[in-house]
Structure formats: C-alpha cells, structure tokens
Amino acid sequence: MAERTLVIIKPDAVQRQLVGKVLTRFEEKGLKVVAAKFMQISQELARRHYAVHEDKPFFEGVVNYMSSAPVLVLVLQAEGVIAMSRKLMGATFGNEAEPGTIRGDFGACRGYNLVHGSDSPENAAYEIGLYFKPEEIVDYTLANEDWLYGSND
C-alpha cells in the first residue's frame, strides 16, 4: 500500500533557486508527486504546522523563517515514501548531512535546512491536511509504475 508524505521545499531553497534540483531528487528516486502548491506560508499556518515545538526556544525563529519567502509544498506518494524521502533529505542540518543527500549537497549551516518532510504517517496526514484539500490530491498511475514499484516475483 502506497503511503503519502508532505514535503516542503523551504524559503532558502526557493531563494537559492534550488527548487528544480530538489524536486528532481525525489522524482529520480521514483517518488510520485500527487499534489503541489507554490505559496507563501502565513505566520498563523507556520504556527499550526510547528505547534508541537511551541515551547521550544527555536519556535519563533522557525515560524519567521517558514513565513519569510515562498515555498513549494508537495505531497509525495510511494510505498515507504516517508523513510525514503527523509533519507534523501539527509541529517537535519546541512553542515552535518552526508554528501549525496539534499541537505548534504546543498546545505552548509544549522540555520536553514532547505526541505521539510513528515516524520511519521500520523504527522504526514496532519500536515497534508494543513496545506491541501482532499480534492487537490490527484490519484493517477505513472506510465513506468510497474518498473518503479513492481517486483520480479
């Protein structure tokens, strides 16, 4: 059964004109884009998204960062998409992420980390609901889906 995850290509990636390169990483892996929205996240929406961190010292900073410039919000779908997408992203901070990951190849600091991805099926469902109505998510079949998700059994 395919699962879904929310991915946000964050303000620093948009400002550095890395949207295409980041999106390509997910697509080349075989993760299917089923929804996409280029938008400016409001402070209110950023607060709702990061509400679990409200009592942490970095909360105000992340709210300001996420609402500072446009982002590309995506819903990706594949079996195991949460684990795969998080592995592609790499460690949270670019200065600690392995080369070959999005953050490892394009990030160099602890302040900005280019991309967000849901960390569990429960959080994915909550986060997707913040950004997309059910009718905005498109269910379709990729022409190469058998080659991407099939097996030789």
Task: List, by residue number, the catalytic residues.
Answer: 116
CA dihedral sign, ordered 67, 88, 37, 75:
negative
Cβ-based neighbours of 123, under 8 Å, separated by 6 or more: none
Q: Residue 66 and residue 112: Cα distance in Å, rounded? A: 10
* CA proximity to 31, closest of 123, 134, 148, 151: 148
Q: Residue 135 and residue 77: Cα distance in Å, rounded? A: 15
> In the chain, which residue ranges form alpha helices assigned H by DSSP?
11-15, 19-29, 43-49, 59-66, 81-89, 102-106, 121-131, 145-149
Q: Residue 114 and residue 20: Cα distance in Å, rounded? A: 12
